[in-house]
Structure formats: structure tokens, C-alpha cells
Amino acid sequence: MVSKRGRPTDDPKTLNTRIRLSENDVSMLKYCSDITGKTKSEIIRMGIKKVYEELKK
């Protein structure tokens, strides 16, 4: 039996996507992360959700 690692979640993050960013993009992402205390991944997910909701209107 294989033991599970990490915290259990209802929304597992099993897929990876690779993106290219400019230095300015990375700087803005880091700033958002530092100010909010959220991870860079969380900030990116928030941006995706925001654009998605705008498009669904």
C-alpha cells in the first residue's frame, strides 16, 4: 500500500503548465505575492478566475 503525502484536498493540483514571463511580469507577481501573503501559484490562479468570470458575463 502506498502512503499518501501532503495534506488531503478536494481540489488536487496534479497538472503542470509552464509559462514564460518577462522580468517585469515576475516582479509584479512577486510584489502581489509579498503583499497578499499568497503563493505565486495562488496569484496566478486568482488571475485566471478573474479573467474567466469576466468572459462568462
By residue range, what is the domain housing residue 30?
A: 23-56
**Cell 468572459 identifies what position?**
55
Is position 35 within any domain?
Answer: yes
pLDDT at 2: 62
Number of domains in the chain: 1
**Residue 3 falls inside a structural domain:** no
Residue 9: the pLDDT is 84
pLDDT per residue as tens digits for the range 6-56: 778 888 889 999 999 999 999 999 999 999 999 999 999 999 999 999 999
Q: What is the pLDDT of residue 39?
A: 97
Structural domain contains residue 47: yes
pLDDT bucket at 3, cuts 50 / 70 / 90: low
pTM: 0.80
| Other C-beta atoms lying within 10 Å of the C-beta of residue 21 | 11
Give the amino acid at 9.
T
In order of 2, 30, 47, the CA distances from 44 in angstroms are 32, 11, 5
